Amino acid sequence: MTNLYLIGNWKQHGSRAAIQAFSKQWSFNANPALRIAIAPPFPYLQALVEALPGCELAAQDCSVHAQGAYTGEVSADMLADLDCQFVLVGHSERRQYHYETDELIAEKLAAAQSAGVTPVLCVGEQLSAREAGEQEDVVRAQLRSALAKSQPNLLIAYEPVWAIGTGLTATPDQANEMHAMIKQEVESLLGASQATPILYGGSVNAENADALFACPHVDGALVGGASLEAASFMAIAQSASNNLSH
Ligand code: PGA
């Protein structure tokens, strides 16, 4: 284990007042091997970086286009211009509410990489697939199409859809098993020399973080609800920090 990653996904939450309140409570001396980032809605990227020095910036999405007449879109180059280190790509809420396909996700991944922003590719199965025992097939298929044009520079977040925002978490064994499969698949797709960090996401909180970070194949977490409050996000960061040596 070299680095652990902790990324807060604020989704469509936040305000200037919320960022100020968060920054007043936030005090965490991260070990350099623990990379902490927050993905606020686009309008708050600048305010967040000013309010939380030491915390890296992530965006929740990017366009496939570098620039042009695409109303409402934000390019990966613009994110790079704001010193955004990471961008989520293919989050299940984008797949569900914006009908993002694996092909589009592959293009977004390539756009982020060519702009120098590290994509965090989100994959994960629906509850019906887990119940049918098809979770590995689903995730493998997502990886194969999303990584078709990818360079090795990326993170992957395994987020079982049934665990997102539901309070249900994959057990550490379920997460670890899936992460091991993802690592193997990514190695065969992108080359064996590449160790791609795999983050777990889906109802991570201060109570379950320790057990998840203790898993050998869990290299970090993508945290939604529990990243909105500085206290719970700091507690998760502390768990990550305690587990850095595994
Ligand atoms: P959650 O969200 O932690 O609220 O389940 C995780 C995510 O969607 O990234």
% of the chain residues with pLDDT over 90: 85
- Ligand 1 atom at shortest distance from the alpha carbon of 93: 8
* Residue 28 pLDDT: 77
Please give the backbone phi and psi of residue 83, each rounded to the nearest 5 degrees, phi first: 60, 35
Q: For ligand 1, atom 2, which residue shows the shortest CA distance?
A: 224
Q: Is the CB of 165 under 6 A from ligand 1?
A: yes
Pocket test for ligand 1, best of 9, 12, 229, 236 (most atoms within 8 A of CB): 9
* Residue 193 pLDDT: 66
- pLDDT digit string (tens) for 136-156? 999 999 999 999 888 889 999
Q: For ligand 1, atom 6, which residue shows the shortest CA distance?
A: 224
- pLDDT digit string (tens) for 217-229? 999 999 999 999 9
The Å distance, Cα 218 to ligand 1 centre, comes to: 16
* CA separation for the pair 61, 94 (Å, rounded): 8
The Å distance, Cα 93 to ligand 1 centre, comes to: 10
Q: DSSP class of residue 186?
A: H
* Among the ranges given (83-87, 118-122, 167-171, 184-188), the one the predictor scored with the smallest mean pLDDT: 167-171
Higher pLDDT, 81 or 27: 81
Tell me: pLDDT of 245 over 70.
no
Question: What pTM did the predictor assign?
Answer: 0.96
Q: Which domains are assigned to the chain? A: 4-244 (3.20.20.70)
* CA separation for the pair 86, 114 (Å, rounded): 13
Which residues are identified as catalytic? 91, 159
Average pLDDT, the chain: 94
Query: Which tokens in the block code for residue 64?
Result: 């496939």
Q: Is the CB of 236 under 6 A from ligand 1?
A: no
Q: For ligand 1, atom 7, which residue shows the shortest CA distance?
A: 224
Distances (CA, A) of 18 to 24, 37, 40, 79: 10, 16, 11, 22
Q: For ligand 1, atom 3, which residue shows the shortest CA distance?
A: 224
Taking residues 156-176, what's their average pLDDT?
93
* Residue 246 pLDDT: 55
